[in-house]
A and B are shown apart, each in its own frame.
Chain A
Amino acid sequence: MKFQKRTWSSLFIIALLLLLSACSGSDEGSTGKENNGDSDEASTQKITIFQSKVEISDQLEALAKEYTTETGVEVEVWGTTGDDYFEQLQIRLNSDQGPSIFSLQNVTEAEKMKSYVADLSSEEYAKDIAPGMELKVDDQIVGVPYGVEGFGLVYNKDLVKPEDVADYKSFVSTLEKLKAEDITGLGLSKEAYFLIGHISNYPFSLQSDHYEFIDNLTSGDVTMAKTKEFQEFGKFMEAIKANTPSPLDVTYDKEVGDFAAGKSAMIHQGNWAYGMLADFDVDFEVGMLPFPLNGTDKLAVGVGNNWAVNGKKDEAETKAAKDFLNWMFTSETGHRYIVEEFGFVPALTTIEANDLDPLSQDVLNASNSGQTIPWAQNYYPANIVPNDFAPKAEEFFLSKDMTGEEFIENLDDAWKNAVK
C-alpha cells in the first residue's frame, strides 16, 4: 500500500516536471535562437513596428520590404485597428513583447511612456525637424513627427465658396441654404475624434495661450461655459445640429463617400481624407477652409503622430530601430515614401514636397504663411475624447432640445471627470 502511494505521487510529480520542462524547454529554444541572431551580425537583426495610423499600413509594409532588401534587416509591421492602439501598446509593453518602434500621438502619451521612449536628440535628422514640431519630454526629443497635418472644412468647390463660410452668420445661412437644396451642409461622423475631438479644438486653440488655458481649466480657475470662444462654439454646434442629419448614423467611410458623391457640400476632416477621396475619383475640385469660429481664417495645423523608439529593448534592437528611422528620414526612398506613398506633409525641412494633393497643399500653404492655429488636443488629458467628450456629444446630437450652452456645460463636466 505504502509503496503504491509513493509510486503514484512520484508519477504525479514526474508528470508535473515533464510538463514544466516542456514549457521552459521551448522557451530556451527560442531565446537561444535570438541570441544567435544577435551575435551573428546585423543582417539577422529583426525590428518590429507598431503604429496607429491605419491609412498607411500597406505602404509602411512596402517600405519595410524595401529596407529589408537594401540592408537585410527584417522589419515586421504589426497591424492595428487604430481604435485601441494605445491600450494594445500598453499591454504589449507590459508583457515585455513591445515593438521596437511605436507611435505616440502627443506629449500626454509620451509622458505616460516616459520610461520606454529612447532619446533621439542626437540623431542626424533631429535638427531638421520643423521648429516646434518635435515631441519632447524633459528636453529630450523622443518623437519625430510623421508629418504635419491640418483639419478644417473640406469643401466641394462647386457647392461652396470661401466667402460662404467666413463667419458665424454666413456659415449658418450656407447650412440653411444647402439644407433647402437637400444637401448636407457639414458632414461629421460618429467616430469620437471626427464627432467632437477635432472640432473641439477651435475654442481652445483660439485662446492666447492654450497651454495656460488648459492648465487653468484643469485647476478649475476657468470654465468653458464662461469663456467667449466656447459660447460661440456652442452656437456653431447648435447650428450644425439643426441643419444637418445626425452624425451618429454616419461612419467615416460614409461621411467621405457622401462628400465624394456630392451629397454633402462640406465635411469636417483633415488632409488625411484625401487618400479616400482619390479612390472615389471625385470629379470636382476640393479644398480646405478654416472653421470660422470667431471669424478666424487660420487652419488648425499640428502633428498627429510621432515615431518613437523603444529604449527598453536590448541595445542591438534599439540601435537597429534608430537606424531604420534614420534611413527613412535621410534616404531618398524614405523621403519618397513619406511624401508620395504616405501622403504626409513633411515635418522635416530636408524633405521636399512637390505634387501634394490639394488638401495637403492647403495645409502646407497655411503652415508656410503662418496662417495656423495650434492643435490644442495634443495637450488634452489622455483619452478624454473617446472617454468623456464623445458621450456628451452623442447626448447633444440625440436630444432635440439640448442647447449649445448646455452642451458646453456638459463638456465642462466631462473635463472635470477626466482630470479628477
Chain B
Amino acid sequence: MQNKINKGWYLLFTAPLFIIFLTVVVIPFVIGIYYSFFKWDGIAANPKVFVGFDNFIKLFGDTRFLESTWKTTLFTILAVISVNIVGLVFALLVTSKLRTSNAARTMVFMPYLIGGLILGYIWQFIFLDVFTLIGEVTGLENVFFNWLIDMDFALYALVFVFTWQMAGYIMIIYIAGIHSIPNDVMEASMIDGASWWQRLKNITFPLLMPAFTISLFLTLSSAFKIYDVNLSLTGGGPANSTEMFAMNIYNEIFGYGNYGYGQAKAIIFFLIVAAITLTQVYITKKREVEL
C-alpha cells in the first residue's frame, strides 16, 4: 500500500520534468535523426529531398570534418589531462594545512562562474595585449606572442583557457573525494611509517577512484562538446585550425545552409561522445574500490 502511494507521488512530480525533457530533448533529437536523411537548405518553404544514407557516406570524404575530428580529439586529450592534473594538484594543496586554503579555494573556483563566452573575450585580450607586452619586455618572444594567430598555438591557447575555467570545478570534486577518505586509515598508515608518496599512491588514489570517474566523465564530455570558449576565443580560426566538432556542425548548418548534412554530422557527433564517455565510465567504475 505505502509503496503504491509513493509510486503515485513519483509520477506526479516527475510528470512536468518528463514533459519538458520530452519536448526539448527527445522530440528534437528524433526529428534531427529524421532530417539527417534529407538534403535540405533549412528554409521551411523549400523542398526536402530524401537522400538515404548519402549524408553519412559523404562524411568520410569531408576533409574539413575529419580535420576537425582530429583537432577535437587532440584538444580533448590535452584538456582532460591538464584539467585533471591541475584540479587534483589544487585539491591536494587546499586540503593540506595551508593557511590560505579557503581563500585559495574560492579563487580557483571563481573562473568557473564566469560564462565561457565572456571568458573567451577576456583571454582574447590577454593573448593579444598582455602576452605581446610580456614578450616585448622580457624578450621571450618565442613563448609570449599572440597565440591566437598561430595555427598550432591557437589550440594550446584553447586548452589553456579551458583548463583555467574547468580546473576549479574539478578541484571541488576532488576535495569532496579527499574529505571522504576516513582519517583512521591515514593515521594507521602514518603509524606504519608510510611516506607521503606511499600514502598518496596506495591510499588516496585508490579511494579517490569515484571522484576520478566523475571528473574524467565531466571533462571528457565537456571538452568534446566545447563551443562557447571556442567561438569567443578563436572563432575557429586562424584558417579553421581550431574549428572543433560543435562549431564545424554549426558552420555546416548555418554557414553553408546544409541542414540535412549538418544533422548527419550531429548524429555522428552524438554517437562518438556517447561511446567515449560510456567506455570511460565503464573502465573507471571497474577500478573503484570499496572499503
B151 in the interface, Cβ–Cβ < 8 Å? yes
A11→B4 CA distance, assembly (Å):
13
A246 in the interface, Cβ–Cβ < 8 Å? yes
B239–A395 CB distance below 8 A:
yes
A383–B4 CB distance below 8 A:
no
Mask of A1-38 contacts with B, CB within 8 angstroms, 1/0: 10011011101100110010000000000000000000
Mask of B121-136 contacts with A, CB within 8 angstroms, 1/0: 0000000100000000
- For residue A399, give the distance in angstroms from its CB to the closest CB of chain B: 9
What residues on B are CB-neighbors of A390 within 8 Å? 237
With both beta carbons as reference points, the residue of chain A lying nearest to B253 in the complex is identified as: A87
What residues on B are CB-neighbors of A12 within 8 Å? 8, 11-12, 15
B255–A19 CB distance below 8 A:
no
B19–A94 CB distance below 8 A:
no
What residues on A are CB-neighbors of B240 within 8 Å? 391
A249→B212 CA distance, assembly (Å):
40
**CB contact under 8 A between A84 and B12, given known A94-B43, A391-B240:** no
Q: Report which of A7, A112, A249 forms a contact with B128, defined as CB distance below 8 A.
A: A249
A208 in the interface, Cβ–Cβ < 8 Å? no
A249–B238 CB distance below 8 A:
no
Question: What's the interface size class on B, roughly?
Answer: 20 to 34
What residues on A are CB-neighbors of B150 within 8 Å? 398
A331 in the interface, Cβ–Cβ < 8 Å? no
Q: Report which of A4, A115, A383, A386 forms a contact with B43, defined as CB distance below 8 A.
A: A115
Number of interface residues of A (CB under 8 A): 35
**Secondary structure dominating the interface of A:** helix
A335 in the interface, Cβ–Cβ < 8 Å? no
**CB contact under 8 A between A112 and B41, given known A11-B8, A391-B237, A395-B238:** yes
B128–A8 CB distance below 8 A:
no
What residues on B are CB-neighbors of A93 within 8 Å? 43-44
B4–A1 CB distance below 8 A:
yes
What residues on A are CB-neighbors of B177 within 8 Å? none
A383–B149 CB distance below 8 A:
no
A116→B251 CA distance, assembly (Å):
23
Q: Which residues of B are at the interface with A, using a C-beta cutoff of 8 A? A: 1, 4-5, 7-8, 11-12, 15-16, 19, 41-46, 128, 146, 149-151, 237-240, 251, 254-257
Q: Which residues of A are at the interface with B, using a C-beta cutoff of 8 A? A: 1, 4-5, 7-9, 11-12, 15-16, 19, 84, 87, 90, 93-94, 112-116, 246, 248-249, 382-383, 386-387, 390-392, 394-395, 398, 418
**17 pairs, CB–CB < 8 Å, chain A vs chain B:** A1-B1, A1-B4, A5-B4, A8-B5, A8-B11, A12-B12, A12-B15, A84-B254, A94-B44, A112-B41, A115-B43, A115-B45, A246-B149, A249-B146, A382-B257, A390-B237, A398-B150
